[in-house]
Structure formats: C-alpha cells, structure tokens
Amino acid sequence: MSVYYYIAQLNPESAYDVCQRNGFTEIFSQEELADTLQVIAAGGESGLKQVLSAHPDKEVIVEMFQKKEEPKQNFANASGDSSSSKTTKLVSQTNAFILVGAIIVSLAIISAKQG
C-alpha cells in the first residue's frame, strides 16, 4: 500500500482538503484521491509537505525521529563560575608553570652533577 493510498483511506477529509487547496475538486474514489495526492507531492517540496501533513500518523513519526535533547551538565569551578573558558585558561597556565618548574629542577640537577 502506498503512503498516498494510506492517507486517502485513513484520513480522507484532510486528503481531500489538500487536493482542494491545490485545485483538484473532481475526485470520486479513494483511488483517485490517492493518485491526486501523489501528483501534488510530485509537484515539489511544498506539495509533499502538504500531503504529509494529512498523514494520520504524523505525530508518531515526528516523535520517533525528533532529536532527543540531552540534559546539559553545568559544572562550576572552585569560584562558583561555570565558565569553561576560565577553567581552560587556568588549567593551561598551571600546566605551563609545572613544565617550567620541571625544566628548572632538571637544569639544577644537571648543573649540580657537572660542578
């Protein structure tokens, strides 16, 4: 069963409204209704959207494919500020101090052994 026949069979009033809005009024059977919906949908994105808006299960389909939003985690740093840029800058600065300190200690050890 095509989606157009499904719409025509389960939601004929909305399907006929879509057809009327597009200038098709001489429809006498479900087969003609389904064929007309297919013609409207083939006419472009606007027509397809109109046809699918008459789909009897559109809420279920939209719900299934709608992106679920994950809850946003908001962690605060020691100052209570949740700004991640400040935290990143502080971590980078601390890492730089540790690296410089390690280099100074290494140079001190090397010069002590040479002397």
Whether the pLDDT of residue 66 is over 90: the answer is no
Q: For a pLDDT cut of 90, what percent of the chain falls above it?
A: 46
Mean pLDDT of 67-71: 66
pLDDT of residue 113: 73
Q: Does 16 score more than 60 pLDDT? A: yes
For residue 77, the model assigns a pLDDT of 54
Predicted local distance difference test score (pLDDT) of residue 10: 94
The yes-or-no verdict on residue 82 having pLDDT over 80 is no
Binning pLDDT at 50, 70 and 90, where does residue 50 land? very high
3-state secondary structure the chain: CCHHHHHHHHCHHHHHHHHHHCCCCCCCCHHHHHHHHHHHHHCCHHHHHHHHHCCCCHHHHHHHHCCCCCCCCCCCCCCCCCCHHHHHHHHHHHHHHHHHHHHHHHHHHHHHHHC
pLDDT higher than 60, residue 78? no
Question: Which is more confidently placed, 80 or 90?
Answer: 90
pTM for the predicted model, two decimal places: 0.56
